[in-house]
Structure 1
Amino acid sequence: MPKILILASAARSLLNFRGDFIRSLIDNGYQVFAAAPEMVPETAELLQKLGATPLPLKLARTGINPFRDLGTIWHIRRIIRKYEIDMLFPYTIKPVIYGSMAARTLNIPVVSMITGLGFTFGESNSRARMLQQVTQVLYKWGLSRNRVVIFQNRDDRDLFLQKGLIGPGRKTALVNGSGVNLDGYPFRKRESDGSRVVFVLVARLIREKGVDIFMEAAESLKQNYPGAEFHIIGQPDGSMSSISATVLQDYHDRGIIVYHGFQRNVPELLYDSDVFVLPTFYREGVPRSILEALSIGMPIITTDTPGCRETIVPNKNGILIPPKDQEALYEAMKSILDHPERIGPMGLASRKLAEEKFDVRLINKELIRLIGEA
């Protein structure tokens, strides 16, 4: 039974984004080990129920510290040797880079997944440019011997090839994001007479996700559309670009938004909403939150950026807007409020797109094929 080690930057993501993938691997005869930081007992127990062996990983999610990061590489080496791992499957930036480096020293094959490029590739300030340069050097070292590098959108693959970040002759592949479990997010038909229309944003509450733009557009719309509601689900993450909890509470107290904070019952809140909004300029892979909204059958308003544009058939299931454009977001939401009869047909088109393009069973089948051929 081949042993595969999945590396992640957060333990909860192994459940939220890779749970179906872990089940598929086990069903196809793999013994799965899953390593990530923040491996609390509750998460470890749930991974064990899936059939995987959970392992803590010494990895700092943010920042670059050469001594600390060398320790991460050494720790991954120890895991590989202790459990006699046959193949590595890392995703997100640090697990991909440092996992690939560790596996290379032991001649262990690696199939990596690039799940987006983050804020450093979405900004053009001096700090972001410096981080881009460092990250590109690390990617080039890390990916040079990967058997396969999997991307979730064509823009990211083109960028990596253009900058020479993938070793000569190394195989690349495209999949449609992480996929969504259609049974876990069943379709619900939507109809609205316009008396109450609920827009909802679900995200990590950072500036790059367009949260501030959403609140500003909501404030403008509330003046003329008192029946419109604007809900925000998520929490500030404490980073430099995090939206202040004080600001969120102020918008909530003034009746402009309904701020829910962190919620475990996100699907239930989505079912009580009409339109999903994600005005991000973060370099996404394919946002999982949009995929869940597609499956449920919600119209989508998002940005014409890598990873997001793949989820929209313009004017069929949603509306694409330029990034960082509050006026365009205002007009997009206004167009829904002026024509609420579009909500039902657009939601149905979203579900159809989820079934045809983003079904997690199709995506996991392709991932397992790529792993088997590596």
Structure 2
Amino acid sequence: MAHVVVIGSTAFSLLNFRGALLEGLVRRGHKVGAVAPSASEEIKSRLERMGVSYFDVPLRRRGLTPVGDMIYLWRLFRLFRSIKPDLVLSYTIKPVIFVSLAARLAGIPYISSMITGLGYTFSSHTHLARALGVLAVCLYRISLRHNRVVFFQNHDDLNVFTDLHLLPGYVRSVVIPGSGVDVEHFTPAPYPDRDAFLMIARLVREKGVFEYLEAAKVLNADYPKVRFRLAGFPGKGTSYLSETDFAEVNGAGAVEYLGRLKDVRSAIADCSVYVLPTHGGEGIPRTVLEAMAMGRAVITTDTAGCREAVVDGKSGLLVAPRNVPALVAAMKRLLDGQREKAKMGDAGRKRAVQIYDVRKVNNMIFENLEL
């Protein structure tokens, strides 16, 4: 039995993205801990029922905060010295960097990381993002050399890290099929009576929310009976859309806003096509896998992770990022091609079962970590 600790940047992600992984570790007889900031009582209770110990370590997820990041490093170091795990597995940029360093300082024997996408610092073209990208490269180079295994969710990201010489030869790199999807929980559903598009995402510009709203406005003029729906939640920061921003861009109300959903299955079942016009920086988007598992054709962008999940012309359509006319054309194609849409949905379901079943993905992780 090993003492395994999984570290993420949000408590929500521990259950939504790593819940099956944590449960699998417990079933295999390991002592399991989970670290993230500010878990709700509901999340704490669910982790406890799973047999997972929760540790609260505050973290400011976005931006450069030297003092805050050093405090985060110190708190991780103190925690690891106290609980003495045999193995740590971290994911998302700040945990990967600072967990690797803290675990090394604390003498943890097995350090591993999961690169779940390159994120804002690599996908955005702003001066700030470029500066943060340079810093991130330096920090990755320093921290990842202490890892035994680094998991990637798509080949594009591995190629970026390889080209930047971020992985020493003695660090094993493994590409896994994203975070996986529970194909027994997300199952095919009948199509709704009328065509509907759905997008599920945090309301940030990088997810392509503006492009989706603009495409909906264009199509709504010619297809007034088609529904356009958006689920997600606003947040703080310049990248997020406020409810005021959403209302202004949405104009006459072509898009119905569903808010944040605890269970997205009913929303996916009520759509005929799933859309995610992300600008990039993804590992493999979980919502794309969920839509595929439920037998829905997917329209997304020709970017890292997305092009790995969706086979263009087979299980969905790929369009250029930040390109509203291309997005409109793809959405119109599936509105006018009912048989093609259904064939793509069937192909997506098969692909989800064959490649992205969360049990298969987690078994790959367990085998590579020798757990």
- TM-score, normalization by structure 2: 0.97
Q: 1:129: how far off?
A: 1.1
Query: Match of 2:217, SS?
Result: helix
Correspondence for 1:65: 65
Q: 1:190: how far off?
A: 3.2
1:342-361 alignment runs, 5 A limit = 342-361=340-359
Deviations 1:103-158 (A, max 9, x none): 11123121100000111101223211101001111111110110001000001111
Unpaired segments of 5 or more residues in structure 1?
none
Correspondence for 1:101: 101
Query: Which residue among 183, 202, 205 is the counterpart of 2:203?
Result: 205
Q: 1:251: how far off?
A: 5.7
Query: Match of 2:114, SS?
Result: strand
Correspondence for 1:362: 360
1:86 equivalenced with 2:86 (yes/no)? yes
Correspondence for 2:260: 262
1:4 equivalenced with 2:22 (yes/no)? no
Query: Which residue among 211, 228, 231 is the counterpart of 2:229?
Result: 231
How far apart, in 2, do the equivalents of 1:22 and 1:178 lie?
Answer: 12
Query: Match of 1:226, SS?
Result: coil
How far apart, in 2, do the equivalents of 1:142 and 1:210 lie?
Answer: 31
How far apart, in 2, do the equivalents of 1:31 and 1:354 lie?
Answer: 30
Task: Letter of the 1:316 partner, please give it.
Answer: K
Q: 1:250: how far off?
A: 4.6
Aligned residues: 370
How far apart, in 2, do the equivalents of 1:260 and 1:34 lie?
Answer: 31
How far apart, in 1, do the equivalents of 2:10 and 2:63 lie?
Answer: 15
1:214-253 alignment runs, 5 A limit = 214-250=212-248
Correspondence for 1:17: 17
Correspondence for 1:337: 335
Task: Letter of the 2:175 partner, please give it.
Answer: L
How far apart, in 2, do the equivalents of 1:352 and 1:260 lie?
Answer: 28
Query: Which residue among 326, 329, 340 is the counterpart of 1:328?
Result: 326
1:371 equivalenced with 2:369 (yes/no)? yes
Q: 1:168: how far off?
A: 3.2
Query: Match of 2:308, SS?
Result: helix
Alpha-carbon contact 2:334-2:341 (below 8 Å) kept:
yes
Task: Letter of the 1:173 partner, please give it.
Answer: V
For the structure 1 residues 342 and 252, does the alpha-carbon distance in structure 2 shift closer, same or farther, using more than 3 Å as the test? Answer: same
Deviations 1:2-51 (A, max 9, x none): 10111000001000001110111112221110010022221111111111
Correspondence for 2:183: 182
Correspondence for 1:37: 37
Alpha-carbon contact 2:197-2:229 (below 8 Å) kept:
yes
Alpha-carbon contact 1:190-1:347 (below 8 Å) kept:
no
1:300 equivalenced with 2:298 (yes/no)? yes
Unpaired segments of 5 or more residues in structure 2?
none
Q: 1:191: how far off?
A: 7.3
Deviations 1:145-195 (A, max 9, x none): 100010000011111111111223211000000000011111124376xxx
How far apart, in 2, do the equivalents of 1:136 and 1:100 lie?
Answer: 14
Q: 1:65: how far off?
A: 2.0
Query: Match of 2:58, SS?
Result: coil
Task: Letter of the 2:127 partner, please give it.
Answer: S
For the structure 1 residues 315 and 189, does the alpha-carbon distance in structure 2 shift closer, same or farther, using more than 3 Å as the test? Answer: farther
Correspondence for 1:141: 142
Query: Match of 1:110, SS?
Result: strand
- TM-score, normalization by structure 1: 0.96
Deviations 1:243-276 (A, max 9, x none): 2312323566723111111121311111111100
How far apart, in 2, do the equivalents of 1:6 and 1:265 lie?
Answer: 24
